[in-house]
Amino acid sequence: MISAITKAFSNLLKKPYTCNYPVTPVIKPKNYRGLIKFNDEYCIWCDKCEKVCPPNAIIFKQFEDGHKVYNYNPYLCIYCGDCIRACPKTGDALWQCEEKGLPSISKDAPNDDWFILEKEAKQSRENYKAIKAAKKKS
């Protein structure tokens, strides 16, 4: 107990462990798992990342002429990196940066549009398939 008391006094002179977080930034280690970045120039549109993603944070929407658009929801992403490992063009088309994802408050409703988009994307695939099938027939 005496040693603890002396420690309490000596701690008064030492620097605190904690920091004033939003004002003083914290140091992140190298290879921190952050947001997922995408470059459509190199993408081969194989949809593998979409299939493996556990929370469905990557969605490809397909248009009638066949080209796809990549959509990514940082608020749904769990930064597990499964998409990066599934990607055949890792580093060029899809990579994980060290940037931290920003928090969101429920007022912004970041996921509401996303779930609508999810349905639309599903529908767009089916539409495209139907168009393709119709073309084959003709």
Partner 1 sequence: MSWFLALFAPVFGTLVSGIDRVVRARMQRRLGPPLMQPFYDMFKLLDKRPMMVHKLHIVLGVMHFMALWASIALFMFGGHLLYIIFTHLLSVIFLILAGYSVRSPYSHLGANRELLALFAYEPILILMAVGFYLTCGSFEVSVITSNSPAIVSMPLMFIALLILLPLKLKKSPFDAPEAHQELCGGVEIEYSGFFYEVIYVSKMTEIIFVYALVFLFAGQNILLGIILVTGSFFLVNAVDNATGRIRIDHLVKKVYATAFVLALLALGWISYV
Partner 2 sequence: MKKTINIPYGSQHIALLEPVRFQFETQNEKIVGVKADIGYVHRGIEKACTSTFEYKQIPSVVARVCGLCAITHSLTYVMAVEQIIDVNVSEKAKYLRMLMVELDRIHSHMLCLSHTAENAGYEALFMQIMADREIIMDIQEAISGNRVQFDFVCIGGVNRDITDEIVKFIIKSLNELQPKIEDIFDMFENNWSLSLKYKGIGAITKENASIYNALGPLARAAGLETDVRAESDYYPYEKIGYKMILEQTGDIYGRNRVRLREILSSIDMIKNILCDIPEGNIIEKVKGKPNGESVARLEAPRGEIFYYLKGVKQAMLDRVRTKTPTFSGIPAMVEIFKGQEYGDVPAILASFDPCMSCTAK
Q: Is 25 in the site for partner 1 (CB under 8 A)?
A: no
Q: Which residue's CB is nearer to partner 1, number 7 or number 129?
A: 7
Kindly report the length of the chain: 138
Residue 92 and residue 85 in contact, taking contact as beta carbons nearer than 8 Å: no
Q: List the one residue from 16, 22, 25, 103 that touches partner 1 (CB under 8 A).
A: 16
Q: Which residue's CB is nearer to partner 1, number 18 or number 138?
A: 18
Q: Is 132 in the site for partner 2 (CB under 8 A)?
A: no
Distance in Å, CB of 53 to partner 2, minimum = 8
Which positions lie near partner 1, rule CB under 8 A?
A: 1, 4-5, 7-9, 11-12, 14-20
